[in-house]
Amino acid sequence: MSDTYPDLLACEDLLLFASAAISGTGQREFHSGAEQQRLSLDFLHEYVHHCLPDLYAATLALHVNDHNALRIVHTLLARPRPDAPTHERARENALIRRRLARTPPQRVYRLFRRLAAERVNNRRTRATIRDWLAQRPDLTLDAVKYRRGLRDAARHARLRLTGDVDRFLFSSPSARRRHRYPDSPLLRAHSRAHHSARDLYELPLSVAEGFAAHHKVPRARFLELIRERATGAERLRLTEAAHRAGVDPLGALSDAPLLRLCSYVLGLSLEERRERRSELEHALERAARRTAGASAGTWPPTALVLDDSYSALGSPVRRNRPLAVALACHHLVSVLSPNATTHWLSGRADHLTVHPLGPTHLAETVLDALEREPERVVVVSDGHDSEPALLDDALRLWRRRVDPDRATTLVHLNPVLDADGLGPRTLSSAVPTLGLHDPVTLPSLVELARFGEGRLGLSDLRAHMDAAAAAYLEER
């Protein structure tokens, strides 16, 4: 490694930013408030964009969460680099388009509305909006679900849409209700739903709910008839409502993403989890296998240390989020590594009924996991240990005296941003720490953690990010 000391510092700064952008959402956490979170993220974005501008956009390929990805896109559009080489600008444009294509549309429309409010209207911004709208599968559906977002984006980018959509977006409410929309059955149904409850079942669920309340449709009847129009996320959200209304479940568990399914499970009472054990465990296993894909069974023997202490409760706005991430990691690693072992801090063996409780005794649990001498140890915790000095000393002595040859890889993944530390809270200087937002990115994060051990520098990290960006742009 031929990097200079400033290069090593730059490598460390970039990893800190990547970790914060993966785990931080600017929302309240167990140990810090929303304002602290936002201030820390604001500083990190400004610092990296100013000091490492050529790598700022490349972090979009490192699985940063949607909140920070859209912040990066906003910065690149609002404050483009005038001196950027042509090939870097082309890669930035490609990364922006690929990330926006993979972001939920409501978030993208929120970004476009912010750009419009701030009057960011350069050629790059207009081209980004135009290309994203051109790739939308159904602008008529967007006009109904995200009317204000689509209207503001089209007006800001000076785009002319198709006839019916254009009239729906820019005419007055009374004119929208009167117009017949000859080319769009969905817009005709929306117009008729103002007067007829029968037509609301042709609309997206989020729009139909408002019309159902207007027409005072009984909840059970509405859920039964709207079933086919609900998306997977909407079905999972309404599963409990369907149970309470006496309607059969909407079939949401069979295709729900792993992390969302874990959050749903943790929202159930312990009694209900036990009663539905077979159904829930089957759904969790199927989701984990879908997430692992071709990587199933490819990991070496792995030990997981998972934090289920009281702080895993999260906050009112992110309730049970740290624990849901830990539970998802358990199921995913069980598929990735058939010989994996899981060590909860509480000592529980029943993963389905795990719940936040008790202090954080990480040192004992981590040492128990290391005693089995696995090839890989992954710790998922917010890092707030009851005895931080003991944990730090134990891990440094273990690395120096017991495993100096690094036969065991030890990685700490933190689902929470420590606002005071401007990044995820670390366990020890002997252990690399990265942020974790969704366990679907677990394999790539374990690979990225190599750069946090201090043995690889900025040149190696640049090569890794170039390869990651190229692979990200080639994915389908």
Amino acid sitting at position 13: D
Does 320 share its domain with 469? Answer: yes
Of the candidates 206, 224, 253, which is a domain's last residue?
A: 253
Does 270 share its domain with 209? Answer: no
- Residue at 21 is within a domain: no
Does 355 share its domain with 434? Answer: yes
Does 411 share its domain with 316? Answer: yes
Q: What is the pLDDT of residue 454?
A: 61
Rounded (10°) CA dihedral 62, 138, 236, 345: 0
Q: What is the pLDDT of residue 125?
A: 95
**413: which strand partners?**
380, 434
Of the candidates 228, 253, 278, which is a domain's last residue?
A: 253
- What total number of domains does the chain contain? 2
Q: What is the pLDDT of residue 432?
A: 87
- Residue at 118 is within a domain: no
- Residue at 436 is within a domain: yes
**Rounded distance between C-alpha atoms, residue 176 and residue 181, angstroms:** 9
Domain with residue 416: its CATH number is 3.40.50
Residue of 333, 344, 343 lying closest to 302 (CA atoms): 333
Largest CA-CA distance found in the chain, in angstroms, rounded? 79
Does 315 share its domain with 296? Answer: yes
Q: What is the pLDDT of residue 274?
A: 93
Does 242 share its domain with 362? Answer: no
Does 448 share its domain with 410? Answer: yes
- Residue at 97 is within a domain: no
Q: What is the mean pLDDT of each run of 10 residues along the chain (476 residues)?
A: 68 86 86 87 92 89 91 94 88 94 94 94 94 92 91 91 82 70 82 86 87 87 80 72 55 78 90 90 92 89 92 86 94 92 90 90 88 90 85 88 86 88 84 88 82 70 83 80
Does 314 share its domain with 384? Answer: yes
Q: Identify the domain containing residue 224 by its residue range.
A: 196-253
- Residue at 223 is within a domain: yes
Q: What is the pLDDT of residue 53?
A: 87
**304: which strand partners?**
342, 378
Question: How many residues are present in the chain?
Answer: 476
DSSP letters, 271-329, are: HHHHHTHHHHHHHHHHHHHHHHGGGTT-S-SEEEEE--SGGGG--TTSTTHHHHHHHHH
Does 362 share its domain with 428? Answer: yes
- Residue at 14 is within a domain: no
**Rounded distance between C-alpha atoms, residue 358 and residue 362, angstroms:** 12
- Residue at 141 is within a domain: no
**Rounded distance between C-alpha atoms, residue 9 and residue 444, angstroms:** 22
**Rounded distance between C-alpha atoms, residue 360 and residue 165, angstroms:** 55
- Residue at 166 is within a domain: no
Does 203 share its domain with 307? Answer: no
Does 220 share its domain with 318? Answer: no
Contact 229, 205 (CB under 8 A): yes
**Rounded distance between C-alpha atoms, residue 307 and residue 317, angstroms:** 19
Does 360 share its domain with 416? Answer: yes
Q: How many CB atoms lie within 10 A of CB 142?
A: 21
**Rounded distance between C-alpha atoms, residue 322 and residue 413, angstroms:** 11
